[in-house]
Amino acid sequence: MSMLFKSIQFKDLTIKNRIMMAPMCVYSAKDGVVSDFHMAHLGSRAVGGVGLIMVEATGVSPEGRISPYDAGIWDKKHVEAFKPIVRFCKSFGSAMGIQLAHAGRKASTDAPWLGEKPLNSQNGAWQTLAPSAIQFNEGFPVPKEMDYNDIKKVINDFTNAAKNANDAGFDIIEIHAAHGYLINEFLSPESNKRTDLYGGPIENRARLLLEIITSIKSVWSENKPIFVRISAIDWVEGGVQLEDSVYLAKMLKKVGISLIDCSSGGISPHAKMKIYHGYQIKFADEIRKKADIPVSTVGLITKPEFADYLVASDLVDMVALGRELLRNPYWPLYAAHKLGVDIEWPDQYKRAKL
């Protein structure tokens, strides 16, 4: 019996299967406002049967965007633009999540197909922020070391974004604490050299994340889940190691986080990542066992049988697919057929049911 198509409950939310669309920036928003492309892009995955659609890293402030083309959620105009997309996707039975993000020292870059380079004063660069004034890589600007006012503003921005996400109809918010962006920069000793309450031991490096969560909880219903995406390891000596992430996951469980979305890397361009099918499963499994918290894994998962095995063998609770869902928006319909599970197809496509 397939486990991939067994529903899962987080607080008051039931998700119809264990398939999550991984958050993926599509660099197609204008001034943070999502576009027709987002409707087609996210809507087709809902039609395709994805259980949980996690909307791309969405800026909590203009300066928190990776590029000028990122989605944003700091203003009411963003809420209005998201509403019809959320409504459409939900009408096909998908749960809707949004990844709230601040890009920190990796902000202010161009879209991937425009070179992904840091912007300059001629093409709209803005001041980047980080726990310490250390550039991400050669050619990147030196970020401003955040003072307490900057920290307070970021916490307020995440809180305002969570409130807006709620108004737009989202079921879940996922805090982006991975891939070398702002919160990961605080968590990692590689980028956080502070000597105040926000630097040093893991309890201090996690302070910003925990303060953001506490503040978000004042505007986000207790009955609605919050996920956190982390980089379980930085893949660099002196960076975050798996035991730090297990410890962090235990802290996150205590403050009521429903799931840890386990990714890795991104803090350093010199990281030596070993990438193969399911290369991040071991991180998720270790965190799940040692911190006793639901987890998802992501990374080169393409085959229905493999995804099903990961859930059935109790390694993970959800499986996130990124690029495979870009290649094949109807992957869940096809996966159900491969696994011999009879799921409801959209009325409009019933004549094509496998």
Binding site for ligand FMN (CB under 6 A): 22-25, 56-57, 99, 176, 178-179, 229, 263, 298-301, 321-324
Q: Give least dist CB 348 to ligand FMN, A.
A: 27
Whole-angstrom CA distances from 148 to 65, 87, 181, 342 are 21, 38, 19, 54
Nearer to ligand FMN, 180 or 294 (CB): 180
Nearer to ligand FMN, 193 or 323 (CB): 323
Whole-angstrom CA distances from 286 to 145, 247, 262, 292 are 33, 11, 10, 9
Q: Give least dist CB 213 to ligand FMN, A.
A: 17
- The owner of tokens 């909307």 is 55
181 is catalytic: yes
Q: Give least dist CB 157 to ligand FMN, A.
A: 17
- How many C-beta neighbours within 10 Å does residue 292 have? 10
Active-site annotation holder among 27, 69, 181, 330: 181
How crowded is the C-beta side of 165, counted as CA atoms within 13 Å?
Answer: 35
Q: Which residue has its beta carbon closest to ligand FMN?
A: 322
Q: Is the distance from CB of 39 to CB of 128 less than 8 angstroms?
A: no
Nearer to ligand FMN, 200 or 242 (CB): 242
User: What residues does 118 pair with on adjacent strands?
Assistant: 109
Q: Give least dist CB 44 to ligand FMN, A.
A: 15
Nearer to ligand FMN, 81 or 177 (CB): 177
Q: Is the distance from CB of 227 to CB of 174 less than 8 angstroms?
A: yes
Q: Is the distance from CB of 70 to CB of 59 less than 8 angstroms?
A: yes
Please give the positions annotated as active site. Answer: 181
